[in-house]
Structures are given as C-alpha cells and as structure tokens.
Copies of this chain bind each other. A is one copy, B any other.
Amino acid sequence: MNFQQLKIVRETVRRGYNLTEVANALYTSQPGVSKNIKDLEDELGVELFVRRGKRLLGLTEPGKELLETVERILRDAQNLRNIADQFASREQGSLTVATTHTQARYALPEVIKQFKARYPQVHLALHQCSPREIVEMLLAGEADIGIATEAIEGVAELVSFPCYSWHHAVIVPQGHALTQLPALTLDAIAAYPIVTYHEGFTGRAHIDKAFAAAGQAVDIVLSAIDADVIKTYVEIGLGIGIVAPMAFNPAKDTGLALLAADHLFDDNTTRLAVHRGVYLRDYARQFVTMVAPGVDEKVLQKALNGGE
C-alpha cells in the first residue's frame, strides 16, 4: 500500500471512474493507474470498483467503506505538510479562499486589506465561484476556506461558523413610487418586475419563500449572480431590485435608493466553512477569526477536530 495508490483511488472516484482522465490529472500513465488499482485490490483482497468488462462503473460496497478512510489518510498526509510548513515559516505560505461575488465584492475587501498588511508574505488566492462550487472545492481540498450564504450548512464534512447576518433590501431608482410608501409590503413589491439573484445565490431561496408564503406571484425579469448586474438593470428601469444591503453604496450609487425590507424576508447568515479534520496554518486561523468574529482559538480547535 502506498500513497500513490490511495491518490489514484480518490481521483478515480472524483473523475467519474475514467482512468485515462485520472492518469492525466495525476501526471502519470494510464496503464500505471490500472496497475496501481489492481495491486491495491490484490493487497487488500477485495475489489474496490465495479466493472463491466474492462470499464469501471463505480465503487463496490467495500470500496465505498474504504473510501472514507482513504480520504482521511490523504487529508492527513496533506496536514503533515501543512504542519511542517507552519513551523518552517510561520508567516509564509498560501491561503485559498473560495467565495461568492457578494462576499468578495462587498464584505471581504476590508478583511483582506488587513490580512495582507498583517501577513504580507502569505500568498492569498481568492476564487470567485458559486456556493455549490465552493462546497466542491472545500471537499476536494482545493480551497482552504469557503465563505457563502448558501449551500454550506448541511454538508456533514464541513464545519462552519456564522460571519454576520443580514436581510435583503429593495433597491429602486431615485424618486421611485415605492420610496413614498411609509412601509414596504410584499404586495407593493410584487406590483413591479423584479431583478434579483439567481437560484442558489445570496439568499435567493428566502426571497422566493417570502413571496410563496404570502401567496404572491412575482415577475422576475432578470436573475443575476451579482448585485452589480442587478443594480445596472434597476438603474435603466428594467424593474426594482432585491439585493443584499451591503451591495449598496450611497456615495457611488447616486441614481438609486435602498429601502429596508427586514420585516419582509427571513434573515440570511453568511457562513465561513472549512473541511473537517484539516490542519489550518496560524495565518489561516487568523483569517477565520477576522471573518467570523465569534470564533476564537478554542472554538476553532474543537471544531476542527471533529467536534460539533
């Protein structure tokens, strides 16, 4: 048994049981991949993969059971390297954060500025992607930290911490009729075409839920990934927007007005997530505490080691 064999098993599952792809991904030859799998199966005395003829189709029962442990071993092997790096150069290394447009654009810049000042030697990579992709990256070990409002909770392999809570707000052109209302209602909003987030992004589910609960049909004329797009179309009069309030900048968005709607939509909690059982370098822990203020060393330590 060796690490290469285990890596191949993991990658085979991830790549949908295509050994040619696995070989490419691991920069090795395809026959080598085949042989490694066969050797490991021989050593363990069980078939890991279901085959039809020569093709691999999926994991056998023992394969499924073994996979978890294989993944933990490989994660731990990576942990060894990370721990060693931590001691070799405390202030140096890299940190990959996967997050959504909303966080990257509005919530994180301040934190990142501070982090960069504190750890100038750390190479910080910010990956903008969808909430689901964030989860994927964390699971695959391609990102150290994920930050999003959606998709994070309920993934057993991840530990997550709340960063901050917020409510959607309505954004309209300056002087819009809605600005005259004493208090916003769902009915009033639904009278206009709506521009808001795509499904699966930035609390969209809570928006749908509120209207559905009110039995109110809504005309969503544009669903976008990010608030900048939404604001653009609100500004040209396509409809009114429902956005995260941190996307509104009074100084810059002079043609627009933000109307609070805390009472209309459920609140959203943006969360930070890491993979259970990973070792976080000091600077990564620091980053976590900067983004999720309720988290201190003890909480983090406990959460990382399987607690919670």
Kindly report how many copies of this chain are found in the complex they form together: 2
On whether the beta carbons of B77 and A76 are closer than 8 Å, the reply is: no
Q: Is the CB of B46 within 8 A of A77?
A: no
Q: Which residue of chain B has its CB nearest to the CB of A85?
A: B45
11 A-B pairs whose Cβ atoms sit less than 8 Å apart in the complex = A1-B80, A3-B3, A44-B81, A46-B84, A46-B88, A62-B83, A62-B87, A66-B80, A69-B79, A69-B80, A306-B307
Partner of A77, one of B73, B86, B306: B73
A1-B3, A73-B73 known; 10 new pairs, CB 8 Å cut-off, are A1-B80, A1-B81, A46-B84, A46-B87, A61-B87, A62-B86, A65-B83, A66-B84, A72-B72, A305-B306
Asked if A186 is at the interface of the complex by the 8 Å CB criterion, the answer is: no
A70 at the interface (CB under 8 A from B): yes
Contact with B along A189-204 (1 / 0, CB 8 A): 0000000000000000
Q: How many residues of chain A have a CB within 8 Å of chain B?
A: 29
A45 touches B279 (CB 8 A): no
The residue in chain B whose Cβ has the minimal distance to the Cβ of A88 is: B45
User: Contacts A2-B3, A88-B45 hold; do A76 and B69 have CB atoms under 8 A apart?
Assistant: yes
In the assembled complex, the Cα of A218 lies from the Cα of B276 at a distance in Å of 54
For A89, give the chain B residue with the smallest CB separation.
B45
From 250 to 308 in chain A, residues with beta carbon under 8 angstroms from any chain B beta carbon are 279, 305-307
Tell whether, in the assembled complex, residue A62 and residue B46 are in contact, meaning their CB atoms are under 8 Å apart.
Answer: no
